[in-house]
């Protein structure tokens, strides 16, 4: 067994078949198939079920996904350590991130990290729920995960670093009914048209509570992609309730941002496996830890 075989195995899984993996890896498909046959013979198990329309990952193959990713990541860590004993000389840090934490604090963290380690690439992967983020880290698909939840995050066999708590705010058009920096209560939103995410998210729960408590408030648009919300507010479709991470971007777009009382907080955390972090991921985690400590000290009691 060698690292090349494991790389091929993961590429087949991640790209959905032999032909796409061969194209991405720039190898001939027969060579890829032979490498997998040799690996299966060495392991004594079938990694894929061959079907008429392609391949399906076997139970044994599914069990080997995380160990294979770990082996390749450990080899990458050895290469990084050997090539840059005095610092980080290259490599990639893979971070799974939910939409709102992916605005902030991820933007600031990536900005600071790339200043310190310009040769290291940060690769982010979209996750839309805490469970999805945790699964991406636990499976080894990503080394780090940045997520937000209604309560403090806990997960078995996962290290959790609490980063910050973001209050929810109201974002509205500048020519609307609210001034920037105002403090609003649910009853102040009576008669407003609202843009919301789908049921099940914390953001939607807050919007549903507002519509229940304030007269004539109605949801006029429901979106899956959070990136659609600010453009909809800008065009006057309605107002939105978002975590405070969107504040700076909203104001740069010319929107107004008002505080919401009483408010709910989004608990932001960075998660990782207890071991097997590459030097780059370890450095990114330590930067996040230092940033969270400074953030907590600057927050009024």
Tens of pLDDT along 123-178?
999 998 999 999 999 988 899 999 999 999 999 999 999 999 999 999 999 999 99
What is the predicted pLDDT for the residue at 179? Answer: 94
How do beta strands 144-149 and 121-126 pair? unpaired
Q: How many DSSP H helices and E strands does the chain contain?
A: 11, 12
Candidates 143, 118, 105; CA nearest to 278 is: 143
Neighbours of 242 (CB within 10 A): 28
Query: Torsions phi, psi of 29, nearest 5?
Result: -60, -40
Tens of pLDDT along 33-85?
899 999 998 888 999 887 766 788 899 989 888 888 888 887 877 766 655 54
> Cα separation of 126 and 121, whole Å?
16
> Cα separation of 218 and 240, whole Å?
11
């Amino acid at each position: 067994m060698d690292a090349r075989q494991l790389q091929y195995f993961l590429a087949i899984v991640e790209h959905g078949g032999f032909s796409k993996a061969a194209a991405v890896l720039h190898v001939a498909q027969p060579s890829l198939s032979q490498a997998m046959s040799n690996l299966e013979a060495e392991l004594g198990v079938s990694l894929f079920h061959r079907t008429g329309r392609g391949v399906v990952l076997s139970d044994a193959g599914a069990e080997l996904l995380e160990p294979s990713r770990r082996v390749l990541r450990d080899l990458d860590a050895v290469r990084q350590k050997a090539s840059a004993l005095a610092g980080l000389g290259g490599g990639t840090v893979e971070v799974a991130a939910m939409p709102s934490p992916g605005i902030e604090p991820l933007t600031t963290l990536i900005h600071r990290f790339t200043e310190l380690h310009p040769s290291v690439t940060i690769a982010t992967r979209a996750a839309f729920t805490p469970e999805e983020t945790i699964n991406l880290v636990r499976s080894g698909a990503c080394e780090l995960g940045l997520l937000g939840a209604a309560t403090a995050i806990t997960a078995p066999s996962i290290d959790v670093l609490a980063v910050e708590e973001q209050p929810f705010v109201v974002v509205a058009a500048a020519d609307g009914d609210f001034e920037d920096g105002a403090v609003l209560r649910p009853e102040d939103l009576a008669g407003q048209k609202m843009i919301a995410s789908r049921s099940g998210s914390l953001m939607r729960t807050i919007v549903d509570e507002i519509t229940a408590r304030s007269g004539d408030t109605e949801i006029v648009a429901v979106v899956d992609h959070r990136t659609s919300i600010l453009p909809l507010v800008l065009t006057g479709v309605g107002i939105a309730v978002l975590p405070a991470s969107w504040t700076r971007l909203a104001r740069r777009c010319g929107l107004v941002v008002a505080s919401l009382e009483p408010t709910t907080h989004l608990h932001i955390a960075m998660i990782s496996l207890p071991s097997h972090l590459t030097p780059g991921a370890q450095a990114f985690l330590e930067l996040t830890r230092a940033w969270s400590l400074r953030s907590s000290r600057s927050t009024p009691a």
